[in-house]
Structure 1
Amino acid sequence: MTLEEFKKGNFVVGMKETERALEKQEAALVFIASDCDERISLPLMEACSASGVPVERQYTKKEIGRACGIKVKAASAALLKSR
């Protein structure tokens, strides 16, 4: 999935919001920035693996933030399941 396709769906931005979406089983796909520090990204990747949620790691924090419509960098974002 590209960030352009991602923008068209419902999503949450940031590590804490992404973690909450995973806990509530609302995440369909998670984007983790390729330039995110491993000590931050590894626990989130493990949570995605445990939940069976696919992870995209091809975009930078700046690209993810821009795609989410915020003016700051974002380490992660999650596409939410359709209701």
Structure 2
Amino acid sequence: MGVRYRDPECECEVEYPGARRLWCEHCRTDGPLPGSLADPKWEQRHNDPAVLREAAERLGDGDPLAERLLTAARQLAGDPA
């Protein structure tokens, strides 16, 4: 069970033909949110509870997406709470 979520700060675009990614300023400077759909290593990272916790920490307390990511991380880790 993986989590699919967008980086709310990402404004990258895709250039066709070839589907080349045009990196936005946010992703060039801060990097995409770990495990988000903007993360170039999404397929390897979206099922990793540590990556989801890292993304939630980067978003900060009170962000609804951060809460969702922490819940998913607990579920992936097998933690019932």
* TM-score of the pair, normalised by structure 2: 0.31
Normalized per residue, the structure richer in strand is 1
Task: Report which of the two structures shows the higher radius of gyration computed on alpha carbons.
Answer: 2
